[in-house]
């Protein structure tokens, strides 16, 4: 598509940071009804900068769903195969949400604010409606709401230095996937050591949208000598890091076993959850396909508009590429996709059908090596 103006009306929710973050964005999308910048200089320049410095990201699109009340924990448990029985206030956990057939509804991070109050920090689908529907239908004693909270993300190797200038608490005390409640310039914030990059960083959750621009400006000023720049989730970095994107790498048609999310939960958790029977059946009978990493040398490949078909020797079953991009650091294309489960070994050769021809690639390990070099 060429570059049309994005029509802004009330229907697209206003980010508290957009007066700052939209300036300079050369590409954008809409995510959870909020505009999300997707590139500033270019994908590659943004990528190198993110690896070397620190960026400020408007991720207001990472909308929160609040669950509070006597049944809040029981409902949170009901949404996911992940065991939440030991979660404590100040803790975050990655929780794939599944439906009755074990299809992935969304893959939020849950924040435990109190034993009876949680936020789901969601990817791109209206989880509010899913959780409300289940709660109303099944009679959970909870209030499910949109708390009007908006994240701002600081990502990159200098994010720790930057944050240490902004808060009084020792930053090193904020462990990975933990958060504290603190203030920056008098603005109350939840600050978590989380974020959608492989370079480390923090997410700052603001509850007062009217303070968004002042928060942004305060952070930018504190990072002036750190080469701080506006940025956004970067396609190259997130694929290299192996971060799955809901809607791209998994949808409601996929289950968390085939999507490779098994490290985030153990089968047989004590609490009741939706989709347990379906998930146990999948474990028992095995998945038809499995998510793998892919490497393709040669010319840069565009991220697919839909999926690209994958063909493999010795089987009529096809796979598909769900995300792919050129990595200027690894000097090859790095991607993700599904292949038949019995053809998922690292090093396996495959052919990918692009719109304009066939290319060959290999299944790669976590380090993007294919065992061939």
Residues forming contacts to a second copy in the complex (CB under 8 A) are 1-12, 14, 18, 22, 25-31, 33, 35, 37-39, 99-100, 105, 124-127, 129-139, 245-248, 274, 303-307, 322-323
Q: Mutual orientation of helices 72-79 and 127-138 as an angle, nearest 10°?
A: 120
> Three-class SS of residue 220?
helix
Burial of 240-268, coded b for 16+ CB within 10 Å and e otherwise, reads beebbbbebbbeeebbbbbbbbeeebeee
Measured from the CB atom, is 247 or 365 closer to a second copy? Answer: 247
Residue 311 beta carbon to a second copy: minimum distance, rounded to whole angstroms: 19
Measured from the CB atom, is 25 or 352 closer to a second copy? Answer: 25
N-terminal to C-terminal alpha carbon distance within the chain: 38
Strand partners, 358: 353
Residue 139 beta carbon to a second copy: minimum distance, rounded to whole angstroms: 8
CA distance 246 to 254: 10
Measured from the CB atom, is 138 or 358 closer to a second copy? Answer: 138
Measured from the CB atom, is 166 or 244 closer to a second copy? Answer: 244
Measured from the CB atom, is 3 or 224 closer to a second copy? Answer: 3
CA distance 273 to 22: 40
Q: Compute the half-sphere exposure of residue 88: CA atoms within 13 Å on the CB side of its CA.
A: 2
Q: 18: exposed, middle or buried (C-beta count within 10 Å: 0-12, 13-18, 19+)?
A: buried
> Where are the strands (E) in 89-185, listed by range?
92-94, 97-98, 104-106, 109-114, 117-121, 143-145, 150-155, 179-184
Residue 301 beta carbon to a second copy: minimum distance, rounded to whole angstroms: 13
Measured from the CB atom, is 263 or 305 closer to a second copy? Answer: 305
Measured from the CB atom, is 130 or 202 closer to a second copy? Answer: 130
Residue 173 beta carbon to a second copy: minimum distance, rounded to whole angstroms: 36
Q: Are 290 and 344 in contact (CB under 8 A)?
A: yes
> Three-class SS of residue 283?
helix
CA distance 191 to 183: 9
Residues 6+ apart with CB under 8 A from 331: none
Measured from the CB atom, is 265 or 308 closer to a second copy? Answer: 308
> Where are the strands (E) in 33-169, listed by range?
34-39, 55-58, 64-68, 92-94, 97-98, 104-106, 109-114, 117-121, 143-145, 150-155
Residue 307 beta carbon to a second copy: minimum distance, rounded to whole angstroms: 6
Measured from the CB atom, is 114 or 136 closer to a second copy? Answer: 136
Residue 75 beta carbon to a second copy: minimum distance, rounded to whole angstroms: 10
Residue 50 beta carbon to a second copy: minimum distance, rounded to whole angstroms: 17
Residue 252 beta carbon to a second copy: minimum distance, rounded to whole angstroms: 8
Residue 175 beta carbon to a second copy: minimum distance, rounded to whole angstroms: 31
Are β-strands 109-114 and 92-94 bridged in parallel, bridged antiparallel, or unpaired? Answer: antiparallel
Q: Residues in the chain, how many?
A: 373
Q: Are 40 and 46 in contact (CB under 8 A)?
A: yes
């Amino acid at each position: 598509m060429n570059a049309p103006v994005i029509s802004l009306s009330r229907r697209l929710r206003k980010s508290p940071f957009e007066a700052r973050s939209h300036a300079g964005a050369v590409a954008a999308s809409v995510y959870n009804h909020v505009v999300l910048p997707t590139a500033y200089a270019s994908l590659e320049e943004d990528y190198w900068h993110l690896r070397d410095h620190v960026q400020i990201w408007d991720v207001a699109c990472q909308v929160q769903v609040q669950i509070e009340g006597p049944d809040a924990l029981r409902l949170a448990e009901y949404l996911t195969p992940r065991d939440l029985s030991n979660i404590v206030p100040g803790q975050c956990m990655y929780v794939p949400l599944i439906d009755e057939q074990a299809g992935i509804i969304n893959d939020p991070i849950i924040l435990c604010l109190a034993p009876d109050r949680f936020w789901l920090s969601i990817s791109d689908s209206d989880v509010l409606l899913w959780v409300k529907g289940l709660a109303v239908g099944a009679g959970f004693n909870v209030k499910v709401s949109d708390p009007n909270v908006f994240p701002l993300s600081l990502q990159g190797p200098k994010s720790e230095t930057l944050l240490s200038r902004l808060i009084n608490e020792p930053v090193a005390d904020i462990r990975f996937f933990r958060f504290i409640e603190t203030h920056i310039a008098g603005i109350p914030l939840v600050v978590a050591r989380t974020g959608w990059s492989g370079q480390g960083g923090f997410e700052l959750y603001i509850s007062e949208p009217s303070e968004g621009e002042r928060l942004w400006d305060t952070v930018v000023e504190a990072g002036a000598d750190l080469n701080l720049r506006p940025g956004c989730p970067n396609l190259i970095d997130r694929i290299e890091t192996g971060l799955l994107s809901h809607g791209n790498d998994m949808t409601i048609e996929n289950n968390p076993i085939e999507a490779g999310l098994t490290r985030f939960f153990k089968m047989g958790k004590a609490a009741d959850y939706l989709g347990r029977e379906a998930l146990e059946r999948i474990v028992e009978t095995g998945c038809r396909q499995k998510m793998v990493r892919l490497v393709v040398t040669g010319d840069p490949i565009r991220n697919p508009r839909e999926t690209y078909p994958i063909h493999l020797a010795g089987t009529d079953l096809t796979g598909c590429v769900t995300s792919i991009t050129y990595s200027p650091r690894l000097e090859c294309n790095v991607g993700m996709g599904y292949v038949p489960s019995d053809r998922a070994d690292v090093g396996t050769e495959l052919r990918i059908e692009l719109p304009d021809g066939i290319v060959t690639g290999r299944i790669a390990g976590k380090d993007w090596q294919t065992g061939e070099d």
